[in-house]
Amino acid sequence: MAQEQQNQAQNGLSGDGTGTAVTGAGTSHDQRTAAGENAQTLTTRQGHPLTNNQNLRTVGNRGPATLENYQFLEKISHFDRERVPERVVHARGAGAHGVFEAYGKVGDEPIEKYTRAKLFNTPGKQTPVFVRFSTVGHGGHSPETLRDPRGFAVKFYTEDGNWDLVGNNLKVFFIRDAMKFPDLIHSQKPDPVHNRQTGERIFDFISNTPEAMHMVAFLFSPWGIPANYRQMQGSGVNTYKWINAQGEAVLVKYHWEPLQGIKNLTAQEAEAIQAKNFNHATQDLFDNIKAGNFPEWELCVQIMSDDEHPELDFDPLDDTKIWPQDQFPFLPVGKMTLNKNPENYFAEVEQSAFGTGVLVDGLDFSDDKMLQGRTFSYSDTQRYRVGTNYLQLPINAPKKHVATNQRDGQMTYHVDSAPGQNVHVNYEPSSLNGLKEAPRTAPEHTPLYTGRLVRQTLDRTNNFKQAGERYRLHEDWERDDLISNMVGALADADRKVSDKMVELCTNCDPDWGQRLADGLQKARSGKTAEGGNQYNESKAADAVAQAEAVGHEAKPY
């Protein structure tokens, strides 16, 4: 009987067979009510009807309160704990539900030639998705106008389980080796002493990490401040693999191209927007979906044979590089439409959890060292942040059969067992009616590896070529903004840091280095440094003094 009730619960039925009501957050509740209750009756978490939610139980109406105020203790203790630790990165976010529709081809070719992943294989096939957009380095309530990469994470609820495509709006990253990731993030976070983010700290790290120059060419230009989430690109950033039915692999990169177009902001434009609304991107996404103006992105891939490609002047696994489109064209594979807002931000957006290791059959990892480091870090973060059983939450749970031998842990609320399974057996293999392995229907991908175990960087670093090309591809106003923002961030930095940055920019393009050097000289000769307040220490200090000078006096009360 207990097993039957458990199976009913997993199938969306209450224990007495009367059915459930499903809330917007995806949770289900028994609809039984006590005498005098209806569906809107307020209760405790234990289901006790509340007749007075306005007052503590006290000795007289002035107090003191008594310790056995269970209703209050439950309410306030939950309130004390209603914020999980925010993400160390990507803390500020917005999200939406939608659908991905496959084209059934990759470009003009049958997609089965390259991958056996089922979500791509049929024209018009639809897969539910949830997307979380975010800033990266700032806290959960920071302005959405700050200069920062933007996260672009998509959870596909496929018939074979979840696939998470976790990326950013920019197509490159600061570093190519996961060993440096904590240092990168620490340099972008506030100073551990005075708790302020500074340009000196950021560029101190970058000036000693020349592979970051390609990212600098994007981040400190208007591309570092997207106008909103709807009108920005997305990229998987890292290199992945596709595996076909024969177990053969190709390298792939993923790109989301917005059908609404792309819009970015200068620092001055962003400051003006921030003065009016520091939640503008979240509001833009929510309001457009609510109005039926559903944003759409086309998913494109670049495909490359799975080898080292010595003909290229960079390593194709290097995530600080872009694969040139003239050699590796964008091939469309499907379209994503976001058409439903969350009904509860915390349950759906804050508790949504993504990981670069969440792949389905037909998709695989490349040897990208940054990707392999992220694959451990992302899911491990969710186990710490949301909890051991974060995959049982509706927003994260696959929309299909789940049966595991994983048990217990904080906040377990159901057991991943199967109908008819011997509930005494939580291990495998077993002859006593436990869970069984799935049959293999296609060969494993089995790449061959030979080489020494080393701690070395890639052979073809080529840190400056694509950064210089990006500088020259910028329009004049984008180059002007890039120089202005870098000058603003470096004007008050230690000369060792700014001199190194001038040298690195010169290596990318002599004009870039000369303009940065000229701008710094003017700023240091007494003229106001340009650039946004985010990294500009002089303008930040002016704001501190201005607040005291223009503040209106008030009498104490």
Residues annotated as catalytic are: 90, 168
Other beta carbons less than 10 A from residue 139's beta carbon: 12
Beta partners for 242? 250, 363
Q: Which residue has the tokens 């910028």?
A: 474
Q: Which residue has the tokens 């009108």?
A: 231
Question: What span, in angstroms and rounded, lies between the C-alpha atoms of 393 and 391?
Answer: 5
Secondary structure class of 280 (helix, strand, coil):
helix
Q: Which two tokens stand for residue 360?
A: 């389905």
Other beta carbons less than 10 A from residue 482's beta carbon: 26
Question: What span, in angstroms and rounded, lies between the C-alpha atoms of 306 and 57?
Answer: 70
User: 54: exposed, middle or buried (C-beta count within 10 Å: 0-12, 13-18, 19+)?
Assistant: exposed
HSE-up of residue 169 (Cα within 13 Å, Cβ side):
29
Q: Is the dihedral of CA 265, 267, 270, 272 positive or negative?
A: negative
Other beta carbons less than 10 A from residue 33's beta carbon: 13
Secondary structure class of 7 (helix, strand, coil):
helix
**Which of 193, 168, 194, 198 is closest to 89 using CA atoms?**
168
DSSP, residue by residue, 21-88: EE-TTS-EEE----TT--TT--B-TT-PBPS-SS---BSSTT-PBPTT-HHHHHHHHHHHT-SPPPPS
Other beta carbons less than 10 A from residue 406's beta carbon: 13
Asked if residues 333 and 103 have their Cβ atoms less than 8 Å apart, the reply is yes
Question: What span, in angstroms and rounded, lies between the C-alpha atoms of 335 and 142?
Answer: 31
> What torsion do the CA atoms of 305, 307, 313, 316 make, to the nearest 10 degrees?
70
Largest CA distance in the chain: 85
Q: What share of the chain is helix, strand, coil (3-state, %, to 5)?
A: 30, 15, 55
Asked if residues 220 and 511 have their Cβ atoms less than 8 Å apart, the reply is no
Other beta carbons less than 10 A from residue 553's beta carbon: 4
